[in-house]
């Protein structure tokens, strides 16, 4: 770390706060007795188990005990928090954007558990690094910082799963932990971690995992894809190199700022770290055979990690009122019968250009509003033309949901398709004519590249679905090869 980097431990727990304690109120501070108490947590009531763990962790940060003993107690509690995570996550992972109260409570418990866990490990790390540590204390400090980074990374992941903006200061804490470990030469020390791939990790691995997920535009992924990406990034993070020198076409993070990685645009100085994801993107191309990750996720990662870039097409502010019809079938109906009264919802346009627009959906949202959803946008007047688009990203706002929409070409037209030679009932689809070759937007379920279809657009025409251009869990766009 550069000599100008501050040597203070500003990320550690502040002085003062709640009164110190000599014992737990629910369990013993002796490891065997604590282990026995943890085994009594009721698996059938995860909410109660989470509440008890949270109380225990809060008291653990206030205990007047030796630092190594505090670390030992944290190491006993952490596996139980990790074990409870998927159970609590299941309450909100596939919930609508307007979270029910029970789902919201589970999400809050997950955030609180990992925040308190992180604070406990930060407390240990600060105590171990307060003076020049010997080899054993350095190893313990590396363990504490790695655990704190992992806990804060879990918190950030929950924000992505819920399409929410991370709280102020969270990225700064992550950067500061890594920067401190780098300054102390701890970032590459291997530490045992039963919760990590291969049961070992490091400060670098935990930090790189978060950077990889953040650089993959997580707001454009559905929760199931985010879960798969977060698990995979636990393996990939150890191969990511963080350099002080700029990498053309890569990403950068600035260690004294409260924000995540961004496409690299300058050197950034001694507090900037650069990483290049293009090698990983090439490796994900594979050999065409099915792999452990969904093909749609792999296609997304290859795109965002091959050529990192900010959006260059400036949008102009807008205050237009719009009506929105969700779903491919709904969009098809709007184009097929534009003058018909459709089941539309109100929305407000925030900014727009020819390629897309930003919307705010006020109040409660339907369960079908997801990343990748197809929608039709129209004006409030009945004569206003409809325009079809795809939801590219979502973000919860205090007064509703904000969404980014990529607009399809204005000449998209509604057609119907059947498998084979008209062997099935016609299904709504959208044909996008283009000089470079027509494409077809079809439901993801039931269609795949290479499928022979009949297109009902006037006289029936035979065609075959070519390579996939883009897609989501709801709809995919394929090149169309006419017979």
- Asked if residue 144 lies in contact with residue 128, where contact means CB atoms within 8 angstroms, the answer is yes
Quick check: 1 pLDDT over 80?
A: no
The alpha carbons of the chain give a radius of gyration, in whole angstroms, of: 26
Q: How far apart are CA 233 and CA 205, in angstroms?
A: 9
| pLDDT given for residue 15 in this prediction | 55
Q: How much is the pLDDT for 289?
A: 65
Whether the pLDDT of residue 5 is over 60: the answer is: no
pLDDT at position 327 is: 96
For residue 250, name the pLDDT band (cuts at 50, 70, 90).
Answer: confident
> Which pLDDT value is given to residue 397?
86
Supply the pLDDT for residue 30. Answer: 94
Predicted local confidence at residue 354, as pLDDT: 83
Q: Is 42 exposed, middle or buried (0-12, 13-18, 19+ CB in 10 A)?
A: exposed
8 Å CB contact between 421 and 432: no
**Structural contact between residues 234 and 196, judged by C-beta atoms closer than 8 angstroms:** yes
pLDDT score for 8: 57
Between CA 348 and CA 355, with CA 349 as vertex, the angle to 5 degrees is 150
Calculate the dihedral angle through the C-alpha atoms of 216, 119, 124, 33, rounding to the nearest 10 degrees.
-110
Rounded to two decimals, what is the model's pTM?
0.91
Sign of the CA dihedral running 227, 176, 163, 312:
negative
Instruction: Provide mean pLDDT across the span 401-415.
Output: 94
Mean pLDDT of the chain: 90
Q: If pLDDT is split at 50, 70 and 90, which confidence band does 380 have?
A: low
SS (H, E, C) 451-467: CEEEEECCCEEEEEEEE
How large a percentage of the chain has pLDDT more than 70?
A: 92
Q: Look-up: residue for tokens 């050999």? A: 287
pLDDT bracket for residue 14 (50, 70, 90): low
Task: Phi first, then psi: give them for residue 224, nearest 5 degrees.
Answer: -60, -40
Kindly state the average pLDDT of the residues 381-386. Answer: 69
Dump the DSSP string for 98-145. Answer: S--HHHHHHHHHHHHHHHHHHHHHHHHHHHHTSS---HHHHHHHHHHH
pLDDT digits (tens, 9 = 90+) for 330-369: 999 999 998 888 889 999 999 988 889 999 999 888 989 9
CB atoms within 10 A of CB 290: 8
DSSP string covering 54-99:
HHHHHHHTTB---HHHHHHHHHHHHHHHHHHHHHHHTTTTT--SS-
User: How confident is the model over 56-63, as a mean pLDDT?
Assistant: 94
The band of 4, judged by pLDDT with boundaries at 50, 70 and 90, is: very low
Given a contact cutoff of 8 angstroms between Cβ atoms, the answer to whether 351 and 318 are in contact is yes
Q: Rounded distance, CA 193 to CA 203, Å? A: 11
Q: Is 248 left (phi over 0), alpha (psi -120 to 50) or beta?
A: beta
The yes-or-no verdict on residue 248 having pLDDT over 80 is no
Highest mean pLDDT among 100-109, 259-268, 336-345: 100-109
Residues 114-168 have pLDDT tens digits of 999 999 999 999 999 988 778 999 999 999 999 999 999 999 999 999 999 999 9
Distance of CA 433 to the CA centre of its chain: 34
Cα atoms in the 13 Å half-sphere on the side-chain side of 255:
25
Give the Cβ contact number of residue 274 at 10 Å.
Answer: 20
With contact defined as beta carbons under 8 Å apart, do 246 and 264 qualify? yes
Q: How confident is the model at residue 7 (pLDDT cuts 50, 70, 90)?
A: low
Q: Please determine, for residue 316, whether its predicted confidence score (pLDDT) is greater than 70.
A: yes
Please give the Cα distance from 32 to 35 (Å, whole number): 5
- Beta bridge partner(s), residue 477: 441, 470
Binned at pLDDT 50, 70 and 90, residue 312 comes out as low
User: 158 — phi, psi (to 5°)?
Assistant: -65, -40
Please compute the mean of the pLDDT values over residues 48-68 and round it to a whole number: 95
In angstroms, the CA 418 to CA 253 distance is 49
d(CA 353, CA 360): 16
Through-space distance between the first and last CA atoms of the chain, rounded to whole angstroms: 63
CA 249 to chain CA mean position, Å: 22
Instruction: List, for residues 77-96, the tens digit of each pLDDT value.
Output: 999 999 999 999 999 998 88
User: Distance between CA 284 and CA 104 in Å, rounded?
Assistant: 35
The residues, any chain, with a CB within 8 Å of residue 23's CB and separated by 6 or more, are 29, 63
Q: Is residue 2 over pLDDT 50? A: no
For residues 445-452, average pLDDT: 93
What's residue 402's pLDDT?
A: 94
Query: pLDDT tens digit string along 200-242?
Result: 999 999 999 999 999 999 999 999 999 999 999 999 999 999 9
**Residue 378 β-bridge partners:** 323
pLDDT of residue 11: 61
């Amino acid at each position: 770390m550069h000599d100008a980097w501050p040597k203070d431990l500003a990320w550690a727990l502040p002085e003062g706060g709640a009164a110190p304690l000599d014992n737990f109120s629910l369990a013993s501070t002796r490891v065997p007795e604590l282990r026995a108490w943890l085994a009594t947590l009721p698996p059938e009531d995860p909410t109660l188990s989470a509440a008890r763990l949270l109380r225990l962790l809060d008291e653990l940060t206030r205990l007047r005990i030796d630092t190594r003993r505090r670390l030992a107690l944290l190491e006993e509690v952490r596996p139980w928090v990790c074990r409870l995570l998927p159970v609590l996550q299941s309450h909100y992972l596939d919930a609508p954007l307007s979270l029910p109260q029970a789902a919201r409570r589970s999400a809050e418990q997950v955030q609180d558990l990992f925040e308190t866990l992180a604070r406990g490990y930060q407390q240990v790390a600060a105590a171990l690094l307060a003076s020049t540590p010997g080899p054993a204390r350095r190893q313990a400090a590396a363990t504490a910082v790695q655990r704190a980074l992992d806990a804060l990374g879990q918190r950030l992941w929950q924000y992505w799963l819920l399409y929410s903006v991370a709280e102020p200061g969270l990225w700064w804490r992550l950067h500061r932990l890594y920067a401190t470990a780098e300054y102390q030469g701890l970032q590459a020390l291997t530490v045992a971690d039963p919760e990590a791939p291969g049961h070992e990790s490091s400060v670098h691995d935990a930090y790189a995992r978060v950077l990889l997920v953040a650089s993959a535009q997580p707001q454009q992924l559905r929760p199931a894809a985010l879960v798969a990406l977060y698990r995979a990034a636990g393996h990939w993070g150890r191969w990511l190199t963080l350099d002080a020198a700029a990498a053309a076409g890569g990403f950068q993070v600035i260690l004294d700022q409260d924000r995540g990685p961004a496409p690299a645009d300058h050197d950034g100085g001694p507090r900037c770290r650069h990483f290049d994801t293009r090698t990983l993107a090439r490796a994900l191309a594979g050999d065409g055979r099915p792999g452990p990750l969904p093909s749609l996720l792999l296609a997304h990662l290859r795109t965002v990690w091959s050529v990192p870039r900010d959006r260059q097409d400036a949008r102009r502010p807008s205050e237009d009122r719009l009506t929105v019809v969700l779903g491919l079938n709904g969009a098809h109906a709007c184009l097929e019968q534009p003058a018909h009264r459709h089941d539309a919802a109100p929305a407000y346009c925030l900014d727009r250009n020819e390629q897309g627009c930003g919307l705010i959906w006020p109040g409660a949202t339907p369960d079908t509003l997801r990343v990748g959803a197809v929608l039709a946008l129209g004006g409030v007047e009945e004569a206003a033309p409809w325009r079809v688009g795809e939801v590219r990203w979502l973000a919860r706002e205090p007064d509703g949901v904000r969404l980014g929409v990529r607009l399809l070409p204005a000449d998209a037209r509604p057609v119907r398709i059947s498998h084979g030679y008209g062997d099935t009932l016609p299904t709504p689809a959208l044909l996008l004519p283009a000089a470079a070759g027509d494409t077809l937007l079809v439901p993801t379920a039931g269609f795949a590249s290479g499928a022979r279809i009949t297109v009902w657009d006037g006289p029936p025409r035979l065609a075959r679905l070519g390579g996939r251009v883009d897609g989501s869990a709801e709809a995919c766009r394929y090149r169309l090869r006419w017979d």
